[in-house]
Structure 1
Amino acid sequence: MEIIKITTPENIEVEYTLAGLGSRTGAALIDMVVQGLMLLILGIALLLIGYFSPNFWEEYYGWIIGGTLLVFALISYGYFIAMELSMNGMTLGKKVFKIRTIRNNGQPITLKHSALRNLFRVFLDIFGVGVVLIFFTKQHKRLGDFVASTIVVSEENKARPITLEGLRGINENYRYLMSAEEYEILRDYAARKSSMEDCDYLKEQLKTYFRKKFEPQVNSNEWDAFIDGL
């Protein structure tokens, strides 16, 4: 395993475990199978149209071919963008191998980052360029990762803050997502909760606030552990 250290926008140093060539290749193969099934369904649909509706095929041949090419492009290129944006940097293949794409500063990727990195996947990685770069570059990056300023990390060893003390009773994996003010509020709560008269009310307020902040960015099991610690 190779570890990379990242300084977040909050000036907190965080460790990530880089995803290796094996897990990234396995994830890519699964995604190729999924895309292949989608294309197979598309091909069967075209055959059925041509067989059962030959007149419709002849009359709208140009529209059918144009629509087919558009759907093919969406499957080949749009699949990765849609998956990464809806699954927080994961595709179906990445989810199986528990790896995720993030930005170089540790933040989640955006549409721009996903579109850039996957554009190079479509036009260059089919020739093996991506595999070569992953193997020989220090941070296991494809060309698309360099252009989009992204990296692929392992979820099994989640990011850990390495410069600040962990909160008492609170999962330290979430420290790097907090601002300094939020961190101090939780520290104060953890230190004084046993003597607070309105502890339960405050706890619910904190849960509501941090649920909105963390849920789009973290693993659900880890989130449950964090909530239980409050």
Structure 2
Amino acid sequence: MHLFNRVKFRTPESVELEFTLAGIGNRAWALIIDYHILAFILVGFYILFWLLVVQFSDFWITVVGSTLGLWMIAIAFIITFTIYAGYFVFLETLWQGQTPGKRIAKIRVVRDDGRPIGLQQAALRALLRPVDEFLFIGAFFIMLTRQEKRLGDLAAGTIVIQDQIPIGTATLTISEPAKSLHAQLIEIADLSPLLPDDFAVIREYLQRRSGMSAKAKSLLALKLSQQVQAIINLEQMPAGVSSDEFLEAIYLAYKQKEF
């Protein structure tokens, strides 16, 4: 296995992205951190759960009778799994593929095409995590597959990469013409057909463009701007506006629409 395994993907917008895969060491380190946090959360839950059972034991016995112990074990198991899976689902969705452990280890989960993961991908990964951890099945898959995927990654269509460019946190440079144009776009264009995935592509381009060659940047900006125009049914861009400025203005207008 190579020390740094790199993988390339071409997005639907024809931009080629290259990632360095996280590797089993970084993923294990992130998981250790997350499990310590989970352990702290679960211990707090068990203490609270036990206090509630003891405090209202007469009520619970009246409701369920002699099977109180079995009911409490079942309820505790269900809530434990909900906390366990919910921790990864909630944080990976909210933090665009990261948990506290992944953030410290500087790794991130993304879709196979490089886009941020959503609720569906995070849920699939979390639900299959117990299977991956049974007899270290997931670790074997990570070590033996070229793209270092565990079963949860295979089902969700995701990869785990080194977080070289923090998606969603990178500083975007917005030109003055775009700041003026975005207010005009809100008036003349309907941005509602733009989906969150469309916005994510625009945001990623604006974050990554500084690392592109001038030719690649120009071609991609033109293609993206034409696609956005088609989506929002805008016949033509305002005169004297470059593709980059148009995309920056769309970014600002969409952000304003969200709020």
Length-normalised TM-score, structure 2: 0.62
Aligned residue identity for 1:114:
A
Q: Is the Cα contact below 8 Å between 2:106 and 2:162 reproduced in 1?
A: yes
Identity %: 31
Q: Distance in 1 between matches of 2:86 and 2:220?
A: 29
Q: Distance in 2 between matches of 1:21 and 1:115?
A: 21
Q: Which residue of 2 aligns with 1:103?
A: 111
Q: Which has the higher contact order (CA 8 A, sep 6+)?
A: 1
Q: Which residue of 1 aligns with 2:196?
A: none
Aligned mate of 1:142, from 146, 150, 157: 150
Q: Distance in 2 between matches of 1:177 and 1:113?
A: 27
Aligned mate of 1:78, from 66, 73, 86: 86
Aligned mate of 2:24, from 21, 24, 27: 21
Q: Is the Cα contact below 8 Å between 1:27 and 1:94 reproduced in 2?
A: yes
CA shift at 1:68, angstroms? Answer: 2.8
CA shift at 1:105, angstroms? Answer: 1.2
1:33-81 Cα shifts (integer Å, max 9, x gaps): 1211121011101222244443234345477555433321211222211
Aligned mate of 2:211, from 146, 166, 172: 172
Which runs of no fewer than 5 residues in structure 2 stay unpaired?
168-204, 229-239
* Cα pair distance change 1:123/1:59, threshold 3 Å: farther
Q: Is the Cα contact below 8 Å between 1:102 and 1:108 reproduced in 2?
A: yes
CA shift at 1:31, angstroms? Answer: 1.3
Bigger drift between 141-150 and 63-72 goes to 63-72
Q: Does 1:210 align with 2:251?
A: yes
Give the RMSD, CA atoms, in angstroms: 3.6
CA shift at 1:141, angstroms? Answer: 0.8
Aligned residue runs from structure 1 range 46-195, under 5 A = 46-60=49-63, 61=68, 65-156=73-164, 171-172=210-211, 180-182=223-225
What is the aligned length?
A: 192
1:143-180 Cα shifts (integer Å, max 9, x gaps): 11112211001112679xxxxxx99xx6237x699671
Aligned residue identity for 1:25:
A
Q: Distance in 1 between matches of 2:33 and 2:248?
A: 37
Q: Secondary structure at the match of 1:171?
A: helix
Length-normalised TM-score, structure 1: 0.69
* Cα pair distance change 1:179/1:126, threshold 3 Å: farther
Which runs of no fewer than 5 residues in structure 1 stay unpaired?
160-165, 186-195, 215-230
Q: Distance in 1 between matches of 2:252 and 2:28?
A: 34
4+ aligned runs moved over 6 Å, structure 1: none
Q: Which residue of 1 aligns with 2:235?
A: none
Aligned residue identity for 1:127:
L
CA shift at 1:9, angstroms? Answer: 0.8
Q: Secondary structure at the match of 1:151?
A: strand
Q: Does 1:32 align with 2:35?
A: yes
* Cα pair distance change 1:49/1:2, threshold 3 Å: same
* Cα pair distance change 1:179/1:64, threshold 3 Å: farther
Q: Secondary structure at the match of 2:19?
A: strand
Q: Distance in 1 between matches of 2:226 and 2:59?
A: 64
